[in-house]
Structures are given as C-alpha cells and as structure tokens.
Amino acid sequence: MYGTIAHVRARPGMEARLKEEIRRFEEARTPGAIASYVYRMDADSNDYYIAIIFESKAAYVINAQSAEQNARYQALLELLLSEPAWHDGEIVAVALPHGNGLPISAVAEMMSSFAS
C-alpha cells in the first residue's frame, strides 16, 4: 500500500467548500484509492491533514498524473492559503481492530474490499 499525507491551511470560512472537494474525490471512485482521512486540528480550525491510501504506488502515480485529479487539485487550491505540503510514502504497518498479526498484504486486500 502507498499513500500521501497533505498538510493544508484553509482560507477562513472555506470549511464547507473544502468538505465538498473532499467528497468529490471520494465520489470519483478513483481506481486504486482505498481510503481517505481528513483531520481538522484542535489548535486551529483552518489547519487540516489529509491522508489518502492507495493499493499501490503505481495507482497513486496514475491518479496524481491524471487530468481529473489535476482539476480537483486546482479546485482545492482556491480554498487554501498556500499550496499543500505533501508527504508521500509506502505504508509499512497498519493496526486495525481484530487485525493483530495480519501481514500488510492481507490488510491491503481487506481494505480494498471496503473501497469497492
């Protein structure tokens, strides 16, 4: 599994539109995308971290290079104070309830079934 974590600073008053852009990504049913998580920080309600999980680095790269993702990204930029800080990498461990001891490949398969 592979993913990215973005740190974004929303323009004040843009929370509803930010949620809408995230919903658009989820509704796009992007091939290879397994899950996304959005965290709003307690210390600053305009400060967010967005974590997106893909089944593989190849799926992530295909999405990142697609025209559809570029359009979503451009729409997202309009809502932010500056460009996101991206942190990409391989997911090497996952802890899930009742998933103790599962190899990462089994967890990836299980998570993929949830995304379908």
**CATH assignment of the domain containing 78:** 3.30.70.100
Residue at 65 is within a domain: yes
State the pLDDT at residue 95: 75
What value does the mean pLDDT of the chain take? 86
Within the chain, what is the greatest distance between any pair of CA atoms?
Answer: 44
Task: Count structural domains, the chain.
Answer: 1
- Amino acid identity for residue 44 in this structure: D
Residue at 100 is within a domain: no
What does the pLDDT look like over 16-64, one tens digit per residue? 888 888 888 788 888 999 988 999 999 999 999 999 999 999 999 999 9
Residue at 108 is within a domain: no
Local confidence band at 111 (pLDDT 50, 70, 90 cut-offs)? low
Expressed as residue numbers, the domain containing 40 is: 2-91
State the pLDDT at residue 15: 87
State the pLDDT at residue 102: 56
Residue at 103 is within a domain: no
Provide CB contacts within 8 A for 11, sequence distance 6+.
46, 79, 80, 81
Residue at 102 is within a domain: no
Residue at 106 is within a domain: no
